[in-house]
Amino acid sequence: MKYEPKILRQDFPILQQQFKGNQLVYLDNAATTQKPKSVIDTLQQYYAEDNANIHRGVHYLSERATEKYEQARKKVQQFIGAKETQEIIFVRGTTEAINLVAQTFGKKNIKAGDEIILSTLEHHSNIVPWQILAEGVGANLRILPITDDGELQLEQLPKLINSKTRMLSIGHVSNALGTVNPVHEIIKMAHEHGVPVLLDGAQSIPHLKIDVQAIDCDFFAFSGHKLFGPTGIGVLYGKKSLLETMPPYQGGGDMIREVTFEKTTYNTLPYKFEAGTPNIAGTINSLDWNAVQHYEKELLDYATHALQEVPCLKIIGQAKEKVGVISFILKDIHPHDIGTILDQSGIAIRTGHHCTMPLMLRLGLPATARASFAFYNTREEVDKLVEGLNRVIKLFG
């Protein structure tokens, strides 16, 4: 059956809007994806029919909400190929998931003089938590460099891993350049030295089929809002053997077994890491995998060739393996000006440093413009982007 994005787009109400007389062209999917009607309806139905706290009530609404909440956990487990539901921790998003690992596993296992390996490609959310940990315990960060094309210099990794290395945390896909990192090789290399690996999967989960057991990562973090779901919900996957050794991240309801003023004993996995009332409504959504990777690859190729025809446009990041992200600069026109002018035609892109300031410093750029694609984007939208960029050039002479 032929993939029909124009038909699928009808399930996304926001994409039907017009702005300033123009049909919305939404090309900021790396920041957040739009939501299908099924997700919106599920949220509305929960608050209208099922709203109750989970795990604590014996009444019907609580039991029904609890059942749906745990069904969602099972769907996530199956979606990412985890071994069991106890390995699925619901958090607020990728950022909280990484902070959880840094402040629990990290504090327990990383001491003064130890080392943590990151890469130049990382989002701030996969830099700052480790910096805070390193500063607190006296550890050091080691950085895996990149090439001018935006690919990791993988041959440098064996030189970075040593007897002091305690953690390797790396993005699966770059949010700024779209680079798909060779995580199988990275993880194999790290595990040969007994080093656990956390993957920031915020950008890979919408584009790639994820099987955490096949990848063999120790932790995997992602956000619902980048996967066509609601904001305020995310997932930390962790190998059960590691999660069981980690102390709680936050204290409060549902993460406890028994509380006295003298001592508290903690709940079992996964509830040990889920203190307080969670985003119940945000978890009760289907996460069906759509076979769209081939279409997205074709769309990325089409957009890359189309943008290369725009005069004076330079694409930043030429990795051989990429997903639907194209960062670019245009002559000496500031990216913010590009984004502002495109917005006047209803074209939404992202401009700035994309929360990757070390990467921008490495590339010698203050900022880029970024178009990022999802399975509901079309070639016609790419054409409108090209038309808009040509108008920008004409306006700036």
Pairing, β 347-348 against β 25-26: parallel
Q: How many other CB atoms are found less than 10 A from the CB of residue 393?
A: 16
CB 139 within 8 A of CB 133: yes
Out of 43, 355, 365, 386, the active site residue is: 355
DSSP string, 164-215: TEEEEEEESB-TTT-BB--HHHHHHHHHHTT--EEEE-TTTTTTS---HHHH
Nearest to 363 by CA among 120, 63, 154: 120
Give the whole-angstrom CA distance, residue 176 versus residue 369: 9
Sign of the C-alpha dihedral computed for residues 252, 258, 259 and 263 taken in this order: negative
Give the H/E segment covering residue 41: helix 37-45
Nearest to 87 by CA among 244, 317, 305: 244
Q: How many other CB atoms are found less than 10 A from the CB of residue 47?
A: 10
Place of tokens 């210099």: 153
CB 138 within 8 A of CB 112: yes
β-pair partners for 90:
235
Give the whole-angstrom CA distance, residue 151 versus residue 180: 8
Place of tokens 């595990």: 191
Residue 217 appears among annotated catalytic residues: no
Rounded to a whole number of angstroms, the CA Rg of the chain reads: 22
Residues 6+ away with beta carbon under 8 Å from 73? 85, 88, 90, 270, 283
Judge if the upstream peptide bond of residue 270 is cis by omega within 30 degrees of 0. Answer: yes
Residues with a known catalytic role: 355
